[in-house]
Chain A
Amino acid sequence: MRHMFKQFLTATAAAALLATSAMADEPKRGGTLVTVITSTPRVLNPAVQSGIATGFPGAQLFASPLRYDDSWTPQPYLAKSWEVSEDGLKVTLHLVENATFHDGQPITSEDVAFSVDVIKEYHPFKSMFAPVTSVDTPDAHTAVINLSKPHPALMLAMSGQLMSIIPKHIYGDGQDPKNHPRNNVDVVGSGPFKLVEFKNGEHIILERYDGFFMEGRPYLDKIVMRIMPDSSARAIALENGELMLAAFEAEPTLIQRLSKVKGLNITNKGYGGIGPIDWLAMNTTRGPLQDKRVRQAIAYAIDKNFILKAILRGTAVEAKTGIHPDSPLYDADVNNYPLDLDKAAALLDEAGFPMKDGKRFDLTLELAPFPGYKPQTEYIKQALSKVGINATIHSSADFPSWAKMMGTLDFDMSLDSVYNWGDPVIGVNRTYMSDNIGKGVWSNTQGYANARVDELLQMAGTENDPEKRKALYKEFQEIVADEVPIYFLNAVPMHTIYSDKVGNPPMGIWGTSSPIDMTYLKD
């Protein structure tokens, strides 16, 4: 380790000397990237498990038909080209011909059809492949996905960790793919790296797959993913060079501190795909919160700038809607409820909650069991007291207790953090559709029902024309902003921190949840 640190120092010095020519650096082969994940993934097979813990190793082990750059443009990956039929009901994938699984077997359209079947049946995000009726395999390298209705979300659903192509000859043996023994050991993948060792609580070691179909890639020989749950330990390891790259760091103080460390680089690029947003959820089915004016008053009473500047220390980008600010579908022009206590008071009076002895009504405010939510929650309590709303903070023992409460609409208000997962159809609809009320954590936990919103989301989900689609989502965002079932606060300040030694860190919209086959180590 010390030796490595010396290398790292020389690399830093060299990088400083060659600052101008560094941009033109040629990627080079070789080396071990030491990186980190914060918890042990349940399963390494992304076809049956979503989430960021599985995503990083999963996207290295398994390839998907498409990949995305940093501007939301699909790029060829396992599919060298693709086309969507005129009526939008057929999506044809032309697969690369030289791709093989880690055991040398060719990757064919049969495997694509099989993977779609498994994902459709077992993946947690049902909406990704719900309209898929069948997959035709006219030849070994052509797969035709048949749809019951146009489904533009399929493009993003075919990228990143969401559509991993898994080998039929391994997972098609009749065992339950969810609990398949090969999900964690002897994994035979299709991606740029193969599994060497997975030790629960300790590390995941991946090694370059020499038979990878993309010429010359991946550049790294090895990836060591250490499992380190403690953020202070991760920060120190980044500082002393034991770790070269860490993704998903979202602690404002830590980001601020590490941004001053020489030799480390920090970026918030690479999180638009996963699209995490912090917001204040309100239960629209009970008490004063049933009234839209009360919810608007709450939005006016909260000073979002205080949260962004003082609590999050400028590390987070503001979010005004339920679509991540990085997304091309994001509408930045919706009503943003700037701090206005008079307006808030007027709205509350109008709603029939006059001030009596300095108080209008009581509410509970849940302290969600996520790290770092306490300051925001306490601030909101205090901000609401200024307009006569007496919020009592209630904290849950752990995540399941909180999730149960949210999932059954047994709460008034709570901060929450919900992810977009690519297309709105996958991660946004679930929060607003009236047929998804109270179906567990991160369903429509607000009890929000608006027929026009249902209709807009339905239409946008089947609209293949990008401009028309954007217009539909714009109207949706405007309605939600007006009715405030949720007051949106900020994009979760996730950052990737990497040493000067790392070239081409993952910056596409899926960040580390996509292959890092272009990442390399500088001399």
Chain B
Amino acid sequence: MSAPAAALEDVSLELGLFSLRNIGLTLDQGEIWAILGPNGAGKSVTLETIAGFHRPHTGRIFIAGRDVTKLAPERRGVGLVFQNYGLFPHLTVAANVAFGLGSRGMDLAEALSRFGIAHLAERRPQDLSPGEKQRTALARALIREPGLFLFDEPFAALDARTRDSLREELGAFLRETGIPAIFVTHDHTDATVLADRVAIIKSGAIVQAGPVADVFQAPADSFVADFLGIENRLPARVVGRSGPYLRVAIGERLLQVQGGTTAAPAGDIFLCIRGEDIALSRSEAAISEANAEGAPINRLSMRVVRIIALGALCKVLLDGAFPLTACLTRRAARELGLVPGADAVVEIAPDSIHMLAVP
């Protein structure tokens, strides 16, 4: 395996109220990492440490194969993009992009036209749309051919629709250039849409890291599950085992849960169920066919309490033996005729339920 494109090795530092403890990350070429965490967890400090604004007390930082731990920010070869994009308000778009050019031989006009901002060259940043700002900021950073891109909450100040489109644009840009990137965010949607891997950070330490799908499917603890926006976290108790499945009780109600083979938990646990893993129908008959293979499926009768529309999706709040929240497309909800007060049959596959130890 080739050397990583960038890496943090066991980085720790103290900075006033903030501290980082043993942060380790490894980026392959073209890989995008999201550092996800609540405000004050140390996300921005991590990014600024990589950029060179804080000297770690221990550990080392590598960018493009070089040990940059002791280098000043201007010698590290990172492209830094902040919320609101950090364009220089006293300079035109062209001057912003040319800012870092120095004696490099790259063609400014070519860079501007590549990003579709040539016609804005003489404008000031305050007269640009968010999309134009993002393109200017990316052009300005890219012209220095950075070994690593760093983004600090790039979409935090944008409205939802603009955020969606700029996120897609940024993703396309990063995949096209193949430059590895780390971005910090407190929005788990940013991570699912953009990142290959995600690190969840809490109080200056990484609590879980790995491929996005893995982390979202199997959060390591209750904090991560909560932070990733997993809709259902239910206190439960393991009561027995049948073959590969555990029998778990939520109150009176028994559920079959994929037990795994090693070290199955016992006693009190939490169950995590993602809203989109819950299937809904109006009658028992509709589903029984789908269950032909004989694998056990958890089937519950519930009542619709409320429906919350979220753009193309909606959340269906259900109640029965215990409260549950399901996510559907709005079209599916309409076709099922789900309205408050309606009865619904809920199906949850045993492998869609993730178990967490009680902290």
Q: Do A and B bind?
A: no
